[in-house]
Amino acid sequence: MEDRCRAAYERYYEEMGRKADALFLALREAIVAGMLEDGEQLASSRRLAESYGMSRGSVNAAYDMLYAEGFVRPGRGSGTYVSYSKPPASEAGVEVEGKASTLALSAWAQRLPQIKGYTKRPVHEENCIAFDVGYADVELFPQDEWKTAMFAEVRGVLERQYEDYGVIEGHLPLREAIASELRRERSMITSVEHLFITSGSMYGIALLAQLLINPGDQVVVENPCYPGIRRAIAAAGGVIIDADVDDYGIIPQDWDAKLLFVTPTRQYPTGVQLAPERKLELLQWASRHGAVIIEDDYDSEFRWGGRPAEPLKTLDHEGRVVYVGTFSKTMYADLRLGYVITPDALREPLRQAKFLLEPSPSSIAEQRALAVFMASGQYVRHLRRMRRSCGRRLKLFKEQAAEQLAGLFRFTPSDAGLHQYGVWLGTAADYERLIERCQREGVSWNRGERLWRQPEEQRAPAALFGFAHLAEADIKEGMRRIAACWEDVQQQRG
């Protein structure tokens, strides 16, 4: 018996450093695995203590734990015996020889493996200039002011732990601050009763998909679009209808559908703004079909040609538009706070769904800190600084692109956002050669063609260049490297 458990004991002892616990776990492992069979007598405490170099008290403690969990029983007269029989292997799902069990999953869970796109953000070399999308320069963030707000909430979190208990919609002062900001910046009038705080905008999108999509329902999405929207629809069992996009946004059609996802203020990823007449066409379509429009407004706070564009929600007079916003761009990417503004008909269903998943608000310290941050005026001042800085970087990017990348990309005209979208003007083979060469020279960007629904061989090569997180010197050097790499590609091509 001692030899059958020794390897496991040494492993557990090295991990835990406590002999009694290590012996208990080693014996339990041997019993469950069938190495010690039902009815077999265990070694005496004296013998086991001598064999493993421990006290009899430690052995007895291990035996007591086995007895408490029903793995052993005392025998008549003396001795300790195994009282556990390994279940027989069957086709019903018992794990055998390391093979995973077969479990009866729901239809929703069975759809999840079919959803593509679960990738981590790439890790770049130290000297790589990465035009990644999705975040801004952390040096622009008012870290001291935010730390002060966060520390104050953390220090008082225990005293206030029940203050927001059961407030499904989220921290009321934060909802009031968001409503005030939307009224000032976006001309959107909304009540806090219709505003829900979520754990990021993607959380809200996925939850709305669960509420509004039945398996087999047709759902309209822009092509190209943010891949998270496609994943949410697929998880709910929806059937996607692709809607074409041009330089004026989504092209309205008389779709046979009840739900549309759209990014009207700044189409993702192309960056174009939806034309005013098309906004009205979308609302008319929704009215005719009794449909819902989910408006994802992900980064239109950053606009340098005037005020941020007014959302589609401001034109909605029938309660057809659900508005989704986020703080991951204006604050920082790891702050998983977003919000959803619902029409009357969706308010109670969303409240019930959130109650099921989050009976009380999540990230409550962050919610409270952000409410204070906004109420104090720090958020508005931060946005102003970011707009000035990112505006300069966008201007520089456009100048450098015109100078260094002339003839390589056709960039979509855009005066907003934190990235630029460009369609490759050369051959697909040359694009691959350029990407490979640039990776060796320490410069990269995000591939835009992967956001289109067409088969890969039909997609026009494209690029997304994020610039807001890069210093101006890095933008210049990155563009220089791309131009130099293109020269090398041309020379090698002959």
Model confidence pLDDT, tens digit, residues 265-288: 999 999 999 999 999 999 999 999
Q: Is the pLDDT of residue 89 over 70?
A: no
- Which pLDDT value is given to residue 269? 95
pLDDT for the residue numbered 414: 82
Confidence tier at 342 by pLDDT (50, 70, 90): very high
Q: How confident is the model at residue 92 (pLDDT cuts 50, 70, 90)?
A: very low
> Domain 2-82 has what CATH class?
mainly alpha
Mean of the per-residue pLDDT values of the chain: 90
Confidence of residue 428 (pLDDT cuts 50, 70, 90): very high
Q: How much is the pTM? A: 0.82
Identify the sign of the CA torsion 151, 153, 157, 159: positive
Nearest Cα neighbor of 71 from 232, 79, 63 is 63
- Architecture field, domain 141-378: 3-Layer(aba) Sandwich (3.40)
Torsion sign across C-alpha atoms 473, 414, 389, 198: negative
pLDDT of residue 122: 66
Alpha helix segments (H runs only) across 39-171:
45-52, 56-68, 107-111, 143-155
Distance CA(148)–CA(150), nearest Å, equals 6
Maximum alpha-carbon separation in the chain? 94
What confidence tier does 370 reach under pLDDT thresholds 50, 70, 90? very high
Kindly give the residue spans of alpha helices, DSSP state H, lying in 187-226. 201-212
Lowest average pLDDT, out of 110-114, 221-225, 371-375, goes to: 110-114
Q: d(Cα 186, Cα 182) in Å, to the nearest integer? A: 5
Q: Which is more confident, 429 or 415?
A: 429
More confident residue, 373 or 134: 373
Helix (H) or strand (E) holding 221: strand 218-223
SS3 180: helix
Q: Decide if pLDDT at 114 tops 90.
A: no
Q: Coil, helix or strand for 304?
A: coil
* pLDDT confidence of residue 385: 93
Give the DSSP H or E segment for 340: strand 338-341
- Determine the pLDDT at residue 165: 86
* 91 — pLDDT class (breaks 50, 70, 90): very low
Is the predicted pLDDT of residue 339 greater than 60, yes or no? yes
Q: Average pLDDT for residues 223-243, to the nearest whole number?
A: 95
In the prediction, which pLDDT does 77 show?
Answer: 65
Please name the CATH architecture into which domain 129-134+381-493 falls.
Alpha-Beta Complex (3.90)
Burial annotation 46-61 (CB, 10 A radius, 16+ → b, else e): eebbebbebeeebbeb
Q: Are 425 and 407 in contact (CB under 8 A)?
A: yes
**How do the domains of the chain map onto residue ranges?**
2-82, 129-134+381-493, 141-378
Name the pairing type of β-strands 443-447 and 129-131: parallel
Query: How large is the average pLDDT for residues 436-465?
Result: 88
